[in-house]
Every structure is written in C-alpha cells, then in structure tokens.
Structure 1
Amino acid sequence: MASNEVKPTAKEDENAGNWKDSIFNPRTGEFCGRTAKSWGLILLFYLVFYAFLAGMFVLTIWVMLLTLDDYVPKYRDRVPHPGLVIRPKQLDMLFNRSQPLQFNTYVQTLESYLQQYNDTEQERNEACAAGVYFEQEGEVGEQRKACQFKRSSLSRCSGLSDSTFGYAEGRPCVLLKMNRIIGLKPRGDPYVNCTAKRDNPIQMQYFPSEGRFDKMYFPYYGNKLHERYVQPVVAVKLLLNKVDYNTELTIECRIEGSDLRNNDDRDKFLGRVTFRITVKE
C-alpha cells in the first residue's frame, strides 16, 4: 500500500535551517546575529551609559538641594497675594433645615476644623497685642511663637452654644480664611465683606467683629518654624428668612481694606470666593 506522507523539499529544509541559524548558529556561536563577546560589549556600553546618566541626575538633584532653605521657599514671587478659602469645603451647599442628615456633613466638617482653635488649646499660645504685627527675631531653626485665636471669639458660629452652627435653624455659618504666605504683612486693615448676587441684600453677621483679620497674626514664618500657628478665621452667619428659603443664593466674599488683590479675572479665588447655598424647609 502506497504511503500518502509528503516529504519536505530541499528548499524547505534550507529555509528552516536558515531560520534556526538566525536565532542561534552552532557553527559560529552567534546568538541573534552576535557573538557572546559582541553582546557583552553592548551590555557593558549600556551599563556604563545609564550609570553615567543616573549619576548626572543624582548630582543635579544634590546641587539643587544645596541651594534650598529648609525654612523658607526659594521662589515666592508667584504667590504674593493669598486666596480666600471656605469651610465647609463646598462651593455648592444644599440642605433641608429640618433634616439633620442633610447638613450633618457640613456641621462635622466645621467641628473637626475648629478643634485646633479650642480655647484650652489656644491658651498655650501668646496673648498678643491687637492691631500690631507680631514680628519675631530668632536663631536659625528656632521656633517662633503663635498668637492666640480662640474658638469662642467666633461667638454664634463657634459651635459652642449651637452645635449645629445655625444649620438647624436655617441660618448657617461658613468660615473664611486666607491661604498661608510666608512673610505676608498686609497693609491697611483687611476684613471680609460678603454680598449676595441679587437685588435684595441678605443680612449677615461677622465674627470676630466686622470680619477683620487682625495684624497680630502676621507675618507667618513657615510650617517648620511656626508649628503652633493657626490662621485667623472669619465666620459669616447668613441671617436667612422664609423668603430666602428654597432659592439658590449666590454669595461672593472678598478681602477688603488692604493691598491684597481681590479682582484678578485669571484667578477667581485670589482674595475672594464665591459659593452657592440653598436652604429648604
């Protein structure tokens, strides 16, 4: 009986041999077209090359670190004016005053933030003179003292007499603070002024009185030198009435009364902040 097996032709055997030789040629000892010595030289070259690049990178970083100060940033010209920050950290707030679950998150955020301002904690700081910059001299690395900012100075927005910060009564409080900038000494007498973007104004109360950032909290010396420093805070209580409920209110707050910028169209948070709040009943 004749066999149906097809034997490979000589040309096919030659092609198969050439393909195998391209991977490893036993006659010349080449692997992928290169001898062991050639591969060794290539690997050595790349090892030295990348070791040189890594060394240059480490040297560059080391030289750069030698130029930095542990306590003061080298370049501060890009942030000469502070931004205004709101707490709770929400630019859109919506809640029903009769449903605590809807505003508990805001209340908890305020309570947590104000822990560092507790009177017992702040009594460890200095009772500074109001209206005067608290400038300090000291040795390199010496800790600077911090002025007291007691939570009780926020009065009806302190969370001490009203644990809901006014949210349960439909007259919520928000906290405003400036970003920290080392060495900042604002000229004038900076204060917060908030307005509603509508025809009818909204009554508001400010704590501390007149919403002022006292000069005694300036200048700031940096996180390492000023570990106990806390930023001055202005609390704004929105005295809403029934006619203000169930309507989205847009509130803009600005730092006024000083040389701090608050009208840069390129940065909506430079010296100002805008937030929206809707209280339902």
Structure 2
Amino acid sequence: MAVTVYSEEKKDDECRLKPVELPFREKFSKFLHDPEENTYFGRTIVSWAKIGLFYLIFYGCLAALVAICMWVFFQTLDPRIPKWQLDESLIGTNPGLGFRPMPVEAAVGSTLIWYKGTKVENYQYWKDSLEKFLKVYKQPGLNPGRGQNIYNCDYDQLPQRGQVCNVDVNSWAPCHVENEFGYHKSSPCIFLKLNKIYGWRPEFYNDTNNLDERMPKALKQYIKTVPSKELNTIWVSCEGENPADKENIGPVQYYPRQGFPGYFFPYENSEGYLSPLVAVQFTRPIPGILINIECKAWAKNIHHDRHDRLGSVHFELMID
C-alpha cells in the first residue's frame, strides 16, 4: 500500500491564503474609515490625538522660543538710534555727496543731465524731478513730525536737542520752480545734499590761514570774506574734472551759500529732519559739449576718493 508523504513546506504553502483584492474605491473608502478597526486614515482616534498633542506642544515651544529671542533682540535696539555708529558701522565716518535731479530710472548707473533746447517739453523731466524732490521741503506735512519741532536756525540761534532746522528752498532765487530752475535759460540748477551719518560731527576750517591747499582758489577767497561765526560750515565746490571741462563749465553760483551750515549737524534722526541743501547754478555752460563735473564737500574730517565717491560726487552736463 502506497503512502503519500507531505513535507512541512508544502503544508505551509497550502495554509497560506491569497488576500482578497478589493476594488480601488472600496480600498480608498476603507483607508478613510475602517469600521472593523475603527481607524481613520490608518490610525485610531487615540493615536491621532497623541500625535496632534505632540506636535502642538512641539511647535508651541518652538514659536515661544522664537518669540522670546526676538523680544530680547528688539530690547537691544532703539528705533531712532543705530546700534553700530561711526567707525563701528558699515557706513563709516566719511560722508559722500548726492545730487538731484537724477537721470531716468531706466538709465541705470547714468549720471548724465542732458536736454535739448529751451522748450519746456525738452527739460520737463528735469524740472518735474526737482519739483518732486523739493516737495517735502515745501510741504511740512509730507514728512512725519515736520512742522511740530521745526526751528528757524542761524549761526546765532542754534537748535536745541530734538529740534530740526528749516530749509527754506522757496527763497533760493533763481533756483526755484517759478524760474523753471533755470533750465529754460540753459542755466540749470543742480541740488547737492550730504549723506546722513548718525552722530557724525564735522571739523570745520575755522582758521582762514590754515585752509586745505587742495581747495579751489575761488573757494579759499570766498571763505576769507565770510564772517567768523559762519566759518562753521561744510564748504562746497564744483569744478570741471579736466582742463577742457574747466574751460567749458562757465561761472558757477551757489544758493543760499557755498556750503552746508554747521548747525544742521550732528544728524541724530530727530523727527522731521531734512538734510540741508546747496543749489548750484551753472550760469553759462558751453552748449553742445559734454562737461564732466565734480563737486566736493570740504571739512577737516572729510576725505576725498573719486573711486569710492567719498566726499564728492560726479555727474555730466550737456545742453544742446
């Protein structure tokens, strides 16, 4: 009689049952909610509650830690006083000069002031740019705090701490909007401003016998004519960069004076503060020629570097 012998491996294979393949819809529905296991998305309600509580505590602690760090950080800052000043700051202690009007934004990096003829449409852009720039000086309400602590300063009436000095651009004839800033007569006005550095104090040339030898001769002569109390001024000079430019630039006039009054400094970010300005009018530049112009600010602690634009500004002027 024949006896059939089954191996253990064969018995195991016969015991294994092939799982029932469910349709996708039923499989997805079971994933969403399995009534047999009482799970939702593969987990029970208790499991989901534990995970939710863990992440709630984790992210809550993380948010609290960030909030505490930010609070501590802001306690070290003052909204008006920079933490790093003068030599410790990235700006340093050597201010630069800026000029207005600037060329169109599309001309990135351009410093050319160029217009043709004396018709208003030819110089409209430059006139409008200056008018827009000076608007905040003429309408105190456009600058927060301006008008509340404004002060009519002069060399005899210095501002108190927190007060700001008025910049009366309306009286700077002929460099005002009613005179088209001189553009209609091919005698354009360019406005200069000194870059603001918090806490910086200029060192003035109070001794007229000890002026910088690099100063233009005309500026030295001008300084020697001003009253002694007005020597506390950051002086300004504008010249042609090259010999040909110096011949073509023509006479230059400055309004209201040839420099920035010392009572505007130091800059302390007082509410309503506006930078002092100097209007430079080129009365008879030679037409049809590109003129390279360099303007410099003069104080003992202002150093000039043409490459880094320290203490000076360069632009070109061309009137067709």
Deviation at 1:174, TM superposition (A): 0.6
Structure 2 SS opposite 1:258: coil
**Could you say which residue in structure 2 is the equivalent of 1:14?**
21
The higher radius of gyration belongs to: 2
Say whether the 8 Å CA contact 1:25–1:31 is kept in structure 2: yes
**Whole-Å separation in 2 of the counterparts to 1:64 and 1:109:** 40
**Could you say which residue in structure 1 is the equivalent of 2:75?**
66
**Could you say which residue in structure 2 is the equivalent of 1:274?**
314
Partner amino acid for 2:254?
A: F
Deviation at 1:153, TM superposition (A): 5.8
Unaligned runs of 5+ in 1: 1-9, 138-143
**Whole-Å separation in 2 of the counterparts to 1:125 and 1:274:** 32
**Pair 1:83–1:15, CA change in 2 (3 A):** farther
Deviation at 1:186, TM superposition (A): 0.8
**Pair 1:126–1:169, CA change in 2 (3 A):** closer
Deviation at 1:14, TM superposition (A): 1.0
Aligned match for 2:52, one of 24, 43, 48: 43
**Could you say which residue in structure 1 is the equivalent of 2:97?**
84
**Could you say which residue in structure 2 is the equivalent of 1:211?**
258
Deviation at 1:210, TM superposition (A): 6.3
Deviation at 1:279, TM superposition (A): 1.8
Identify which range, 100-109 or 188-197, moves more after superposition: 188-197
* 1:102 counterpart = 2:102: no
Say whether the 8 Å CA contact 1:87–1:110 is kept in structure 2: yes
* 1:31 counterpart = 2:73: no
Unaligned runs of 5+ in 2: 1-16, 104-110, 141-145, 206-233
Say whether the 8 Å CA contact 1:176–1:235 is kept in structure 2: yes
The normalised TM-score by structure 1 is: 0.74
Pairwise CA RMSD:
3.4
1:110-150 per-position Cα deviation (integer Å, ceiling 9, x unaligned): 234435556x999x6234216x9x4745xxxxxx3333443
**Could you say which residue in structure 2 is the equivalent of 1:7?**
none
**Whole-Å separation in 2 of the counterparts to 1:113 and 1:263:** 27
Say whether the 8 Å CA contact 1:206–1:234 is kept in structure 2: no
Partner amino acid for 1:150?
A: D
1:226-267 per-position Cα deviation (integer Å, ceiling 9, x unaligned): x3x4322111222344x432x4333232223431243174x4
Q: Percent identity?
A: 27
Say whether the 8 Å CA contact 2:202–2:299 is kept in structure 1: no
Task: Please give the residue correspondences for 1:1-281 in structure 2 after superposition, counting only pairs within 5 Å.
Answer: 14=21, 16=23, 19-20=27-28, 21-22=30-31, 24-76=33-85, 77-78=88-89, 79=91, 80-90=93-103, 91-115=111-135, 117=137, 125-129=151-155, 134=158, 136=160, 144-151=162-169, 154-159=172-177, 162=179, 164-189=180-205, 190-200=234-244, 201=246, 202-208=249-255, 211-224=258-271, 227=272, 229-241=273-285, 243-245=286-288, 247-263=289-305, 265=307, 267-268=308-309, 270-280=310-320
**Could you say which residue in structure 2 is the equivalent of 1:140?**
none
Say whether the 8 Å CA contact 1:174–1:237 is kept in structure 2: yes
**Pair 1:27–1:88, CA change in 2 (3 A):** same
Structure 2 SS opposite 1:220: coil
The normalised TM-score by structure 2 is: 0.66
Say whether the 8 Å CA contact 1:126–1:148 is kept in structure 2: yes
